[in-house]
Amino acid sequence: MNEEFNQALEDLEKERGIPKDYMLEKIRQALTAAYHRENPNAGDNVEFEMDPETMALEMYEVKTVAREIERPEEQILPEEARTIPGYADCQEGDTVKIRLNTLAFSRTAAQTAKQVIIQGIRESERGAIFREFASKEQEILNTQVYKIDRRTGAVILTIAGKNEEQTLLLTPAEQIRGETYREGQHLKVYLVGVMKGAAGAEKSAKGPQLQISRTHPGFVRKLFESEVPEIYDGVVEIVSVAREAGSRTKIAVRSNDPAVEPVGACVGLKGARVNNVVDELNGEKIDIIKYSDDPGEFVSAALAPATVLSAEMSNDDRLCSIVVPDDQLSLAIGREGQNARLAAKLTGCKIDIRSRSSK
């Protein structure tokens, strides 16, 4: 390996983030694979040495000097060993290194070596992509619509990576209901996680697969975090989120500073903060609830906009019996039970709602 090749390895490290030592190990593996392809009966006794000055990579077959040969691939007779430069005085039991001529490898063996090196580059690049996006899990990614599959409804997105542009797939199941997309449109998505194949994401045949969503409750959390400085700073905390994407979301918030009102902080001046989130969610309705350590009080607040007359918790705090005014029963339950369903998800309680007259 000459200086030119060494420079190529250094360029790979600088431009694509592939460590030089990693590629040297792949080259060793490639040469070993090529050697074994030419010599199928050879053992695993192959070593490499690199001259730090010339950067020449030499390949050797290591054998033990023996009077009786039982394993030809690992042993050598003394008289034969003494003909090797530098081993004229070797004795039985010594080891000798026989330099191998890598230039003599056949075209097929050389192709094997090339494939191993290329595969090493690909694996390293996939590993770099995995590490880059694994650090962004549960964060918002800013992407651009590249193409829309009219047949399946899937949206192909692109996002700039450290070394090159990456392609993401937003499936119909992860799209907000009623949304339409156009090519070239900038779109925010939530990175749920980096999908791992059977052999691990870094070794997956297609590389790491990024699972993205616009329907995940975490998307709402991160949107509020980006709009509300008090949430980003930890002064206001989102305790829980219940969402039916494209329709309605309820979030429960509390303040870690008595001087800061959590709901007001999330709504913002003239509703500016919450409206920005609503706009990003394509008009999805959002109820912001003040969290309470009192389960009954929390459930009552979660049923907003309905007014609750009384709330009684079961002994294990898992069931909450709610009484509302007669004219508020349908409001508390919501269309197709949505309001009650979201309140139950938000609070973690089962909710039994009755009107005052049926009590």
**pLDDT at residue number 102:** 65
How many Å apart are CA 202 and CA 128, to the nearest integer?
8
pLDDT at position 109 is 54
> What is the model's pTM?
0.67
Q: Are 180 and 209 in contact (CB under 8 A)?
A: no
Residue pLDDT tens, the chain, 359 long: 456 566 767 777 776 667 777 777 777 777 777 777 777 777 678 887 766 666 666 788 899 999 998 888 889 999 999 999 899 999 999 999 988 776 666 566 556 656 766 776 777 666 766 777 778 889 999 999 999 998 999 999 998 765 567 888 999 999 998 899 999 999 999 999 886 543 443 434 455 678 899 999 999 999 999 999 999 999 999 999 999 999 999 999 999 999 999 999 999 999 999 999 999 999 999 999 999 999 999 999 999 999 999 999 988 878 999 999 999 999 999 999 999 999 999 999 999 999 998 76
CA separation for the pair 31, 22 (Å, rounded): 14
Q: Burial level of 209, CB count in 10 A (0-12/13-18/19+)?
A: middle
Residue 208: which of 194, 219, 193 has the closest Cα? 194
Nearest Cα to Cα of residue 289 among 333, 218, 344: 344
How far apart, in Å, are the Cα atoms of 249 and each of 73, 127, 156, 241, 346?
71, 37, 26, 7, 10
DSSP 357: G
- Please say whether the beta carbons of 141 and 159 come within 8 A: yes
Structure tokens at 290: 């003040």
Asked if 265 contacts 228 with a C-beta cutoff of 8 angstroms, the reply is yes
> How high is the pLDDT of residue 46?
82
Would you state the structure tokens that stand for residue 340, as one six-digit string?
């009650």
CB 69 within 8 A of CB 92: no
Instruction: Tell me the CA distances in angstroms from 217 to 238, 303, 338, one per residue in order.
Output: 11, 19, 16
Give bridge partners of residue 209 from the DSSP assignment.
195
Q: What is the pLDDT of residue 307?
A: 93
Hey, what are 129's tokens? Answer: 């992509």
Q: In whole angstroms, how large is the CA radius of gyration of the chain?
A: 33
CA distance 150 to 313: 50
Reference 60, options 48, 70, 50; nearest CA is 48
* Residue 308: predicted pLDDT: 94
Query: Token pair for residue 149?
Result: 């599959």
Domains and CATH numbers, the chain: 3-129 (3.30.1480.10), 141-213 (2.40.50.140), 216-291 (3.30.300.20), 295-359 (3.30.300.20)
Measured CA distances, 9 to 13, 21, 22, 155 (Å): 6, 9, 10, 37
The per-residue pLDDT for 203 is: 39
Helix ranges restricted to H, the chain: 3-16, 20-38, 78-81, 107-134, 217-227, 229-232, 262-267, 272-280, 295-302, 329-333, 338-347
pLDDT digits (tens, 9 = 90+) for 275-315: 999 999 999 999 999 999 999 999 999 999 999 999 999 88
Selection from 294, 352, 290, 349 nearest residue 324 by Cα: 352
Q: How far apart are CA 285 and CA 140, in angstroms?
A: 20
